[in-house]
Amino acid sequence: MQGDVPKTLPRATFLGSGTSQGVPIIGCSCEVCHSDDPRDHRLRCSLWVEVGGKSVVIDTGPDFRIQMLRERVQSLDAVVYTHEHKDHLAGMDDIRPFNFLQRTVMPIYASERVEAALHRDFHYAFEPNKHGGVPDVDIRLIEGDRAFELGEATWQPLPLMHAELPIHGYRVEGLAYITDANHIPNDTWGLLDGVDTLVVNALRPSPHYSHFSLDEALDVARHVGARQTYLTHISHLMGLHSERNATLPEGISLAFDGLQLERRDQEWHPTNRQHAWTL
């Protein structure tokens, strides 16, 4: 079937592991922003997941186009959104090449808040007499924690809070993805039972009003008890990747752009790939 992922092991690729400004930050002279280590070069946060015979991207931030080119993504079956902030939404227009290549409408899974933001920011894609040079999408509403199917995989929404903003994380095939959260509601903890690999945001060492700090993210990791945890949505304030990563507890690591995981024997393991590129 057109758009189906070849029969390979389920795979997840970190398209971006950075914050809303990315790393390096424009005009910043800190050692992280001037690092030669490609793991310190962080595009806006996003994950490409190939499971259940489908190719799915979580969030299309401002770097979506270059992330698709970097990973040489040839087909995309759906986009799943966590929330409506620009660093997670702004690249939606670049769905157009997939519309053209696949000659299909792109399914988008989103909350009502995200749908409203898409209609506001990309109004031209939803006008009755739109022309052919705009993204062609079909929004499918996510309702609370109601699971949905993509190919042969079940996607479980994870209701979260980002300060006062309700957002979603996702669980699929033993992998849980949480970004931009600073609070996990009681009902959501149960949806994380038995997770093999957890991805959770950790903005910086010091507290923040709308994101987990490093210590808070480590507390989440301990509570979930996943075999492996990766920290994402990382700012330059976290310090150099090599130095910070060396201080983390066993089973917890900083993610980096291009990090690739494969699901083998019900567990997600990193491939031998080291990094994707440098900026």
Which uninterrupted H or E stretch holds 62?
none
For 204, the token pair is 């910086």
Residue type, 100: F
C-alpha separations of 103 from 65, 80, 132, 145 in Å: 19, 20, 12, 31
Indicate the length of the chain as a whole number: 279
Where do the H-state alpha helices sit in 90-137? 96-102, 112-121
The two three-digit tokens of residue 129, written as one number: 């007499």
- What confidence score (pLDDT) does residue 64 get? 98
Looking at residue 279, what is its pLDDT?
Answer: 45
pLDDT of residue 88: 98
Enter the pTM of the model. 0.95
The residue type at 200: V
How confident is the model at residue 104, as a pLDDT?
96
In this prediction, the residues of the chain whose per-residue pLDDT falls under 70 are 1-7, 274-279
| Per-residue pLDDT, 1 | 40
Looking at residue 2, its pLDDT comes to: 45
Q: Exposed/middle/buried for 1, CB within 10 Å: 0-12, 13-18, 19+?
A: exposed
In this prediction, residue 65 carries a pLDDT of 98
- Domains of the chain are 11-144+153-270 (3.60.15.10)
